Amino acid sequence: MSRRLAAVLTAAALLPFAAAPAAAASPDRSQPAARAAQVRILGTGSQFSPNADGHRDRLAVRYRLSAPARVSVEVQHRGRTVVRTAPKVRRAGTRSFVWDGTLASGKRAADGAYRVVLHATGHATTRSDAARVVVDTSPTRLDVGTFGLSSDTVYPYATVIDDVVVGNFGFDSLYYGDTWNEQQEWIAASRAQVVDRDGHVVATERFTPASPRTAGGSMDGPTSCGPCGRFTWDGRDSDGVRQAPGTYRIRVVHGRDAAGNLRIAGPVRAVTVSAAQLEPSTTVRDLLAADATRTYDIPTGCLGCEVSSCPPVDSTRFTGGLTFDRTPSHCRVSSALFTTPVPGRRTPYDTFSVAATGGPSTEGGDGSADLRTYTGLTIEPSHPMTGDATVSTDVVSVSPNSEVYPSDHAPSVTWLIDGLAGSYDIASFTVTIHTYVPVA
């Protein structure tokens, strides 16, 4: 055999071994196989109010990834997907998805329950977790008390006075806290908001404490009211700019609910801003004493002491008059309170005075009486009446210190006749009331 042929045969014999693949390497079982990422929602807060008021307008859904993954989010409402995000790679650890309440259509989500579903995909496996969230943009209503305004119109353009409307809020029953002070603190933490027709808050007013009127109606304050709070609004915004004529709403707000919405206490009242001018107006009422409205007679007894009271009776000296008689031994007191309505709208600038005409029950006798006015919670100085006389009180504010308390009753002024000695008759009253009314 020649050398050349031997070489060829040798090469042919070795060819299968040269072409055979190398043996597969054994796996390294010391390294764990990669696993799909786990996703778990940690917390959402569950409620939010995407109404652009700056309070809980967004909802953060916190979740934890056990490994890097591509994460996408679905928001579902009534079985339909209303928001879907494109998958994005997220690292392992705690992450969050923030929803501003906007739907895929660009509209704001309607109030109601939604389901947020997170999908985490890794190593060809998708894991999901879901949570229930609530969109709630409706203010919370608190039926805790009464809220009224002194007038349904305010005149910020008037030049004769700096006109205001006065609002009063008060508890009509025990509510937050068991004590008067706790309830007063609740009112002090509340605010009156003025809202324009577009829903924008143009002014926010603080409350100041105000005392209620007594059950007998003798004082110029609210009735059926626990602790009360008062505020004024002058028809201007928080920067002092007079508001355009039109209708506004005033509401009492106290904090926010879990979704971030305002809590509104009591009813919402409408008030009109008018560009009209005001002018002073005087009303004079001449009343026979017996025809004057009597709120109540001074009661008998005081904290256990025996004080016998004799209410006034019809006068025998003056037709239509009243007799205040202290001569019987049991008549320690003979007094009565009178009232008459204030005409028209009510402002802190209203004033009134009362004149009483009378004389001793027996002409030439020595009986005497006392005339006083009640304003706010203050008894004004006395004005003694002796002999046949007409005595006038000072001109006093209907509501001192702007304390105008709206109530279910017509606003009124109040005065007192108190028999001092002997027997004294009141023939008549003249009540003069100064107010401000729109220019005709």
Instruction: Pick the more confident residue, 376 or 370.
Output: 370
39-135 shares its CATH topology with 280-438: no
Sequence-distant (6+) residues with CB within 8 A of 88 are: 70, 71, 72
Percent residues over pLDDT 90 in the chain: 60
Residue 202 in contact with residue 222, Cβ under 8 Å? no
Is the torsion defined by CA of 400, 402, 405, 406 positive or negative?
Answer: positive
Strand-strand pairing, 153-154 and 262-273: parallel
The pLDDT value given to residue 350: 87
Tokens 């009492």 correspond to 252
Q: Which amino acid is at 218?
A: S
CA distance 346 to 349: 8
Residue 10 has pLDDT above 50, yes or no: no
What is the domain class of 39-135 according to CATH? Answer: mainly beta
Max avg pLDDT among 84-88, 147-151, 178-182, 333-337: 84-88
Q: Could you tell me which residues are beta bridge partners of residue 204?
A: 193
Residue 158 in contact with residue 137, Cβ under 8 Å? no
Domain boundaries, the chain: 39-135, 140-276, 280-438
**Nearest one of 86, 73, 87, 85 to 115, comparing CA atoms:** 73
Interval 222-265: pLDDT, tens: 445 567 788 999 999 999 999 999 999 999 999 999 999 999 99
Q: Could you tell me which residues are beta bridge partners of residue 194?
A: 203, 250
Q: Could you tell me which residues are beta bridge partners of residue 351?
A: 397, 434
Phi, psi for 181 (deg, rounded to 5): -65, -40
CA distance 401 to 378: 11
Residue 194 in contact with residue 188, Cβ under 8 Å? no
- 280-438 is classed in which CATH architecture? Sandwich (2.60)
pLDDT confidence of 268, banded at 50, 70, 90?
Answer: very high
Q: What is the fold, at CATH topology level, of the domain defined by 140-276?
A: Immunoglobulin-like (2.60.40)
Which whole-number Å values give the CA distances from 117 to 61, 62, 126, 152, in the listed order?
10, 12, 12, 51
Is the torsion defined by CA of 287, 290, 293, 298 positive or negative?
Answer: positive
Sequence-distant (6+) residues with CB within 8 A of 161 are: 278, 347, 349, 436
Phi, psi for 100 (deg, rounded to 5): -95, 10
Interval 384-428: pLDDT, tens: 999 999 999 999 887 644 344 554 445 678 899 999 999 999 999
Query: Cα 341 to chain center, whole Å?
Result: 29
The pLDDT value given to residue 22: 45
pTM over 0.85: no
Interval 315-368: pLDDT, tens: 999 999 999 999 998 888 899 989 888 887 778 888 899 999 999 999 999 999
**Nearest one of 328, 340, 329, 356 to 418, comparing CA atoms:** 356
